[in-house]
Structures are given as structure tokens and as C-alpha cells.
Amino acid sequence: MVIDYEEILEKAIESFLADKYQLAKNYFVFLNNDDNKFSHIAYFGIICIDSIISGYIEAKDLFKYFLLSDYASQKNMIEYFFDHEISYEEFSIDEMDYNNQTVILESLQGDTTYSDIMLGEIFEKIGDTQKALDYLTKALQKRPFDSTLRKKVSNLGKKS
């Protein structure tokens, strides 16, 4: 039986964004090994879930920022936590350079299409254009007048 790590990651992120932290953690624990390319995401997901459960709710935004970051930035964030032995009480999300992602996170936070957009962005970053297009199209159906989202879907459609 072949394990589809990408599908497990998708379920982990969906669970996380739906505030189903224990389910998400179970998926992340499964992914947190050296046999797959998503282990660093799983590791950071576990850290964020533990922080959220301990009362640091800002870790949810931190994980979203982590997912939107490139691979080098993700590694730097993990090293920052690991090297400084940062606990959730000591970490201030304001210390991170959002690279203009703050506006996106804040504006989409209350939107019911947020998880679709987030998953679309993630799959685009990992190179799965078809899944990215599927999620972003689903989000566009819920927000048909969002010109930015429409352009994103159009550009992805041209790539596939």
C-alpha cells in the first residue's frame, strides 16, 4: 500500500483550519518523519497545536503565516523556535516579518472561504496546480466578485 502523504497533509491542514486540533495533530504526528517532504510542516503544526491548546491562540495565525512562507523561511522559523527554546508565552508574532501577508491573514480570517483559499495557496506552493485550482475555484464560487481571487484562478488555469 502506497501512502499518499499529500492527502494526509491536506487532511491535517483542513482539520487545523477547522479548529479540530486533536485530529490535525494525529495527522501531523503521522507525517512527522524523515520519509516525506512534509515533515517540517508537520513538526511546526504540532508545535502550534500544543501552543494553542496551552492558551496561545496566536499560534493559529503563526501556522498560517508559516504555510504561506517559502521553504527557507519555514526552516528559519523552525530553527528560531528550536535554537531559542521559545515557549508560546515568550513568542510574539509581531517579531515576524509578514512580508505584507498580515493584510491577507486579517482580511480572510472571518471568511468562510478562508480554508479553501489557504489550501489553494499551499498546493500552489508545493507544485500541485490542479489541487490548487480546485480549491481556489471553490472559493471563487463563494466570492464571485473577488477580482484578486478571479485573477489567481485564471492564471492557474492557464498553467494547467
Per-residue model confidence (pLDDT) at position 15 = 95
Per-residue pLDDT at 87: 44
Are 96 and 65 contacting, i.e. CB atoms less than 8 angstroms apart? yes
Beta-carbon contacts of residue 93 (< 8 Å; ≥ 6 apart): 58, 61, 62, 65
pLDDT reading at 19 higher than 90: yes
Read off the pLDDT band of 10 (50, 70, 90): very high
Tell me the percentage of the chain whose pLDDT exceeds 90. Answer: 23
Query: How far is 67 from 82, CA to CA, in rounded Å?
Result: 18
Residues 70, 4, 13, 159, CA torsion sign: positive
Confidence bin at 115 (pLDDT 50/70/90): low
pLDDT at 93: 41
Is residue 11 scored above 90 in pLDDT? yes
- pLDDT tens per residue across span 62-89: 898 898 888 888 887 787 666 655 444 4
pLDDT tens for each residue of 49-60: 988 888 878 788
Tell me the mean pLDDT in the region 110-123. 68
DSSP structural state of residue 36: S
